[in-house]
Structures are given as structure tokens and as C-alpha cells.
Structure 1
């Protein structure tokens, strides 16, 4: 029939289905190849490539690539896998390898996370200490400097310096202080170049650390304090295990309760000096914030200082008014 379309029953659907299947296979093949190439550049393994490919295919199915360059989404998927696996990779690593602005990658990452409701684990600055210290030429003392920097990072966590901050900035401050402790003359410029942050960020982290009691310790005092904390953490963990094992026995539970109370009293007397210089209860192990008896959050301290200043000004104003009367 001229001018009319006569469908081919059965054939059209099969051809279309076959085409879609081939198109999907081509997409998967290309994604594996390109993501694999990028993974090789940053040192990721085959399992991580497979995880990134699955994320990429999800993005394709949901139309996330519309209006976006595929290589940017490749990098975002790999970086999400890195965050989940807690590797030492940073977003700027992908930016360097791909020669793409890190802020473009960051914007795509935020949109990806929001679109697919992905929960990203908090970055622990400790992951990057060994990587950065290896590039600062500490020689045979690289391991010692790294350990000191790791202890400093842990203390910064307790004093709320890590919360809401870039991990690179925290690492930079910890490594600069650790280098000075071990008599290495490293300038702020050298740290900035290795850690890839601006000088203003590094200076702010150093100023925040300067306000903490830890900044006024000697190296021996600092080491003793951290050793006390590690011992106390182990003791707390052992007590928790013992209590869980003896919950079903009333008599044992009562005895354990008394033992725990006595142990806690003993801990308080032993670490009283430690508490006084800024250390203390380590029940916050694993958190990114501070402790109940440690430093208050910086924003809280600033607000409290402003309130005190306003109160003093108001009291002074009232005194002046009384004198005038």
C-alpha cells in the first residue's frame, strides 16, 4: 500500500530489543575501558573499577549524564569508591590526571551524591599523613615524623579542629608541627606545595592549634599524654567487653559494676594531670568532634567570648551611669 506504513509483526520488536542490548553492552565496555584507564593513573584496583562502573551505569540509566561530560562522571564514580574504601586519594588527584578544574569535579560530585542519596563517610585526615610525609624528604625519620603527626591529628580531633575542615589543611598543620618537633626546617611554603592548600588555610589551622593546651606542651609531656590516652582506651574497651559477657549473671554483673566504678575512679586519679592540660576522657574515640571535658568547639568559644565582652561593656556602662547620677 503506497503512503502507508505496514508494521512487520514480531520483527520490529526483536530488532529494537537486540539494538538496545548491543548499545548497553557497548556502553558497559566503553565505561570499563575508560574508567580502567583513569584507575590505572591513580593506582586503583580491578574491584574498585567494577564498583565505579556500576555507579556509572546507574547514572546512565537515570539520565545523569545529560549535559555532562562522561569523563567527569567517570572521575566522580571512582572518587566515591575511594571514599567508601577509605583510600588516600583526594579529588585533586583526579583533577591533576585529567587536567580538569577541581571545582568542576566537586560540583558534579555534590550533584551526584544529592541525586542518588549517597552517604559519604567522613574523611579521616590520618589517611593522608604517610602520603604527604613521603614527599617532604624526612629521610630515615619519615616514620617518626608521621607517627608524631598522626598523634597531633588525633589530638586536633579531640579539640574540634578537624570538624568541618579540609583534611589537607589539618594534615599540613600537623606535618609542619611534627617537622619542627623533629628539628626539620620545613617552611609553610613547602608544606603548602605538597599538601595542595593555600597558605591562608594552613595559617588558620596553626592559629587554631595554638589556642589549645597541647600547643604549650613539651614533646615529652605530649608523648606521655598520648600514651595515657591509648592505655585508657584499651582499658575502656576491655571493660565494655567484660560487661557484655557478664550481663546474664546477676552476681557477676554486680561485681563487674563495682569493679568498673573502682577502675574509673582509679583512672581519674591517674590522669588528673593529663585532663588539666587538655587531654582526658577518650570515650569519643572514632568521632570527628571533641570530648565532654576537652576543648569546646571554636564557634562556641567565640560566641562565649563575645557574650562576655558584651556583658562587661554593659556593666561598665551601668557603672558610668551611676557615677554620673
Structure 2
């Protein structure tokens, strides 16, 4: 078998074969580790021929088949299918020195949004023009996925990257799935619990791309916060459900007409006389149109939740002042993997 091209064995039949385009050892060198997750280790690397810096994801093999996991296959499939400036670019798939060892070579993106928000909160809150720029790019990348009938299913600030030129990139698409078959039920073990839409809790997998819009609503609230904290704090499912009721509101005949018909509607008691939702108290910086968009993203009823396309045309972006800041006007930061995350240039003094 050729060292430069090795087929991956034992792939699920419903996925196309993945043929690495070359050998890792012949083309790339690891510089330093960035992060380690459930499905692989991501490192900063360099192409030894072009000297281009790249991100290299060493994919964990499936425990039983020794081939690629379904999660890795999904990520490769989506990244090959959807090419967009706000989705991380897959450069190539290369084979490692041993059978079944595979690396995804992607464009290197300097920062993750969660770390940047926390870094900003130590100095100053994000300007509203910066929030609009970041959020509009997240929506644009999500719209591209939805236009291809793909839902991400794990949008959160840790999976949103940003370049030193202010360009946002959606990453970590291992949980992405095609949607559109109304008879198909999906797994409910998706989306980090603090970004998980209510219909995932209350149904047995009967959900669609609206769950991504809820996650974006959570990200929007995080961008608006003064300290970079998550909208929902509990790490337990029932705890998050209770927080949703407290902060967004309880399901009513008006806010979610079908709620009482959902199979898991009794997992938590819905109070008869709930207090006023606290959402707007948590985001006092939100503008009038920002509040309206946030409510539409965090609508309890998925059928009433705003789409990515409609959100991009919302007055928050199109007519309310200030307009989105041009991405190149963002300050630059040290790359991921470095301990110091403070801005390397000062920002304009006018808050926009």
C-alpha cells in the first residue's frame, strides 16, 4: 500500500470513502498543542514545503472498527460540502504513519470566541458594533449550513473561532447532521447543555435547525454580558430547564401552544404563577432592536424562532445605530495556545 495514499478501512456504508491526499510525515510538522477534546487532539502545525501555519486535528480511531468514527466522517463530509468564509476551511485529509491514523489539516484560526469574550471582559465590554460584526458572521455561517440542510448541533462560543483580521469561523462540526426527513428522530445527547434548546429536553429527538438558532441566542446573550458569563450556568439538564423557565419564561398556551403534547413535558413542574422572566435584567446593555432579536432567537416554541436568514435582515444589523464594525478594525490578540490573552493593540476610545 502506498505511503502517500492509504484508504480508510471499515467505514459505515452510508458515508463515502475517505482517501487521504498524502502522508502527514512527508508534508507537515507539529509546532505545539492547542487543545484536546473527545474526538481528537488539535495542534498548530506547519506545511514543511510552503511554511504555511495550519491547524492539525489528530482524529481518534473508532474503538471497535479501528476506522474513522462517525463523528469524524460527518465533520469531513460537511467541511467538504459547505465552503464558506465563516466556516473553518478543511485543506486536506492526510494519513499518519500507521494504518487508521488520520489527520485533518485545516486553516489555522488564531482565537476561540469564548476566550476572547473573557479577555475583553477583563478590559472593557465588547462594543455594540463589534457584537454586531461577530453575531452577523455566526449567522452567515449558520445560514450556509442550513441552506445545505445541515444543522450544526453544537454551537457555542468554544466552537466559534476568530482570525486576527476579525473573521469568524464556525468549527467542530462532528455533531452536524442532515435534516429534512420529518419521520426521523435524532439523538437528544447533542449540544452542550447550557446552549441546548428546550425542545431537545422535552421531545424524543423531534427537532430541527431551530436548535442552532437557540444556541446563537445563548451566544448573543454571552456577547452582551459584562463579564463574559454564559446565560445558563447549570451543568445539569433539569437545572438548565429551570433556568430557562426563570430567565426566558414558562411555556404557556400563547408562547408554546404544543408544549403540553410533548412526550417529556412533565420532567419538571411548570409553576402556575411564575415571576417575571429575568432575561433583560441580565443584558442591560442590549439595545431596543437587540432585545427584540434576542427574544426571537430565544423563543420557546421552535416554530416561532427566527431563522438565520431573517435574523441577518433584522433591524439590529440593518438600521439601528451603530452599524457593524469592519472586521479589520478589531484589535489583534496572541494566538491560541499562548497564556497571555490581552489585546496587543488598543481599541478606539469611542464605544460603538
Scaled by the length of structure 1, the TM-score of the pair is 0.28
**Structure holding more helix per residue:** 1
Higher strand content, 1 or 2 = 2
Which structure is higher in RCO with an 8 Å CA cutoff and minimum separation 6? 2
